[in-house]
Structures are given as C-alpha cells and as structure tokens.
A and B are shown apart, each in its own frame.
Chain A
Amino acid sequence: MFAGENGLQGDPRLKAISDAIRVVPHFPKPGIMFQDITTLLLDHKAFKDTVDIFVDRYRDMDISVVAGVEARGFLFGPSIALAIGAKFVPLRKPKKLPGEVISEKYVLEYGNDCLEMHVGDVNHGERAIIIDDLVATGGTLSAAITLLERVGAEVVECACVIGLPEFKGKCRLNGKPLYILVEPRQ
C-alpha cells in the first residue's frame, strides 16, 4: 500500500520527499530511469520526514528487528531502528558478513544473486520489518523475507521509500504487506 492512500492522504511531506528524489536517465543502462535517493539525503527536512513517517508507523507495532538491504537500505534502516528501539540487521551481498551466515538466492533479469544474514542476529518469534530504498520486481525483498522466515521471525511488513504503482492497494509480496511512500518519477 502507499502511504498516500492509507492515513497520509494529502500529506505535504510526501510531495516534498518525491520532489527531493532525482531521476537519472539511462542508468545503469539505456531505458532505465534510475530513482536517485542521494538527493533526498541532502534535503535534511525531507530525509527526516522520510524516517519520521516510518517511525510513526512502526513505533507501536512491537517491532524488535529492522532488517536493511545493502547498501541503500542501510541509509534508512538504522535511524528507524534507533527511534523505535529495535535492533538493526544488515542483509548483505555474499562474503561481506564476517561471521557464520545463512544465504538466500534470488533471480535477476540476467542470472542470480544472493543475500546473506548473520546467524544469531534474529531470534525465533521476533517481529521484523525489512527496509530498502525501492521495490521494483520484489526479488530482493522476497529473498529478504525468506531469510527472516527461515529463522522463525515474523515479517510484519516491508517498507520502501519508492515503489512501482503495481504495489498499490492490498498488493502483497510473498504474502507480506508493503508500505511505500512515493511512486517513481519520470
């Protein structure tokens, strides 16, 4: 679901957040309109509002884990975790995490990729949210959901700053709700 259709209708913060995101055409390849959130991070108020919207949503939902997908999930997840009193769990590409890990493969347009989490970071029964900057195909987030569920965590929701319009309404990913702030800009 989108924030603007669920509780934050007409909230001016959402427009400011959207406006702060830069579109870079043809990156990483021709035809792709890349949604660059680095400009959002330069706008202190918009960045703070982004974090605050997620914090307001999750603060009273008894969340003990905020899992962030490398690397842009790291930009948003820790601030949210700190504000709601949850731990931050980085989900990383292979061979980055130094300790014992569990891995989950996922499919890309061309080939596969893999996401890893440290064993012991998350305990059975913990309530978790997953953060990334953007959801497109949902492949990475699906792998993240699976990783957390494999250790017995309950994934309460996936949260993204940007999401494709097909995630409007009650659309779910692997049965999990999505919460998205803005659509991609052209």
Chain B
Amino acid sequence: MLQSLLLRASNSISLPLPNRHQLSPSPKPLSAWIDAAPSAGQSPSNYRSALPSLRCTAAGGGSELQPLQNQGMAAQDEKDPRIARISSSIRIIPDFPKKGILFQDITTLLLDTKAFKDTIDLFVDRYKGKNISVVAGIEARGFIFGPPIALAIGAKFVPLRKPKKLPGEVISEEYSLEYGKDVIEMHVGAVQAGERALVIDDLIATGGTLCAAIRLLERVGVHVVECACVIELPELKGRERLEDKPLFVLISG
C-alpha cells in the first residue's frame, strides 16, 4: 500500500535574535523581503506582510488566561533561565528560503533535550487544568510541539494540513498570501461545537496561517482560547492580525 504525501515548503523569516547562531551582521529592512517575489516552486508563506483579509475571528473578548506582565509573553521571559536557553538553541539560517531572509530553525532546539522539554513544559504549565480539549497543530512544525502538549494536558490533537493530505472529509479555509492564496484543512468531525481549543505553530510571522486556523475551528463552533507559538516576529504584526484572539509566545524579536 502506498500513501502519497504532497508536501510544500512552509517557512518563515525573522530579524535576527540576539543569539550565538546569528550570522548576518545586521538585519535587512522589512522592505527587502516584503517586495521580493516568491521563487518558482516555493509557496509564498506566512512571512509576507499582512494583507487586507477576512476578519480573523468572529469571537470577541480578551484572554481569559492569567494576564502576564508582557502581553502574551512568557511572564518570566528575560529572567527565566529556561527561556534564554530555548532562545539560544534556535539556529538562524541566512538566505533561506531565499536571499535576504533569516530563517528561524527550531530543529536545533529539538536536539537540546532540556530546551525542548522546557519548551513543552512552559506551554503545559500554562494550559493544563484550563479545560482545553483540543490542541490544533499546523503542519508540519506544529506537529512537533502540539502532540506532546496535548498528551500532557489531556486534550486531543488535531492536525491542520495542506490540501489533499487528510484522507477523510474535510473543511477548508483559504487565506491570502502576498502573491496568491493558500489553503488549510481539517477533518470533519475532529472537533465538536463548544470545545475549547489551542492553536499551535512553531512561529507566527504575519499571522495569516494562524488566522485561517482560527476561522476553521470557529466555523464549527469551537472556542479558540489562545494561539501559542515558540517564536513571534513582532515586526510582521501577526499579533495585530489576530485582532482580539490572544497570542502566547515564548520568544519575541
């Protein structure tokens, strides 16, 4: 039996984090990547600038979770030694997927067993006991962080995937990229109306993918409690694109 896999690049950019892996001498201005055209074969991804788009969410309200000193950041951020180690374990790869982009590579985080465990623990500590029954993870790097969190907090894990990957009946949500559109899908019946959910991805850039994920879940009556990412690129204003949907990140900048 063969199972075909249709995979596409889904990447993001950053301005450099202050860490030892930084190779580029100085950050490129935002215009350097906003104006760049996607290369052939690459799917323009969520690092593009925010575009006029569908309302991210119909639901209102602020975060019901513990307000933090820095809005939506790990409260201890500068002081918690776990955060510093997590941040320094992330590798920056210049000019990937194309010139001018500084890619935040979390695969090096996964090689540091303590940093990876701390990453999961920080999310689990925040979300356990909050009656969250769904952790939705965005393909593919959301698949790395989401399941351990789901297992630890007693929730189910729901993969949100690119088109034609999920074998059963799906609902789809289209979203805008700088050039063109992309689609994210979820299995019908994976979630029920009234369930409380988190959406997980490794990084939020412009917020386009996360917005689409939120809309997908809310269309079937799920309450998205919060979005959670390891990394935020604040210059790309993803937090604003999420509007009133709370965002929690471990590392920003």
Contact = CB atoms under 8 A, between A and B. Distances in A.
A28 B167 contact: yes
A71 B151 contact: no
B5 interface: yes
A106 to B, nearest CB: 12
A133 B38 CA distance: 33
Interface stretch (B46-54, B109-117, B243-251): B109-117
Interface in A143-186: 164, 184
A121 B142 CA distance: 20
Main DSSP-derived SS at the A contact region: mixed
B151 A136 contact: no
Interface in B199-228: none
B62 interface: no
A78 B143 CA distance: 9
Interface stretch (B69-77, B154-162, B172-180, B231-239): B154-162
A43 B147 CA distance: 12
B110 A90 contact: yes
Interface string A49-75: 001000000000000000000110011
A82 B103 contact: no
A93 B5 contact: yes
Interface residues of A, number: 48
A79 B151 contact: yes
A44 B1 contact: no
A70 B2 contact: no
B144 interface: yes
Given A32-B1, A90-B110, A118-B107, A99 B151 contact: no
Interface string B123-155: 000000000000000011001110110110011
Interface size class of B (residues with CB under 8 A): 35 or more
B7 interface: yes
Given A27-B167, A78-B147, A87-B112, A41 B157 contact: yes
B107 A90 contact: yes
Contact of A82 (B93, B116, B139, B164): B116
B110 A44 contact: no
A32 B167 CA distance: 11
B1 A36 contact: no
A28 B3 contact: yes
Nearest to B2: A109
B97 A44 contact: no
A99 B105 contact: yes
Interface string A32-45: 11111010011110
A40 to B, nearest CB: 10
Contact of B7 (A44, A51, A90, A96): A96
8 contacts: A34-B1, A43-B156, A44-B150, A44-B151, A81-B110, A82-B148, A85-B113, A95-B9
Interface of B: 1-5, 7, 9, 11, 91, 93, 96-97, 103, 105, 107, 110-113, 116-117, 120, 139-140, 143-145, 147-148, 150-151, 154-159, 161, 164-168, 187, 190
6 nearest CB pairs, A to B: A74-B143, A24-B167, A98-B93, A27-B167, A98-B96, A41-B157
Interface of A: 22, 24, 27-28, 32-36, 38, 41-44, 47-48, 51, 70-71, 74-76, 78-79, 81-82, 85-90, 92-93, 95-99, 108-109, 118, 121, 134, 136-137, 164, 184
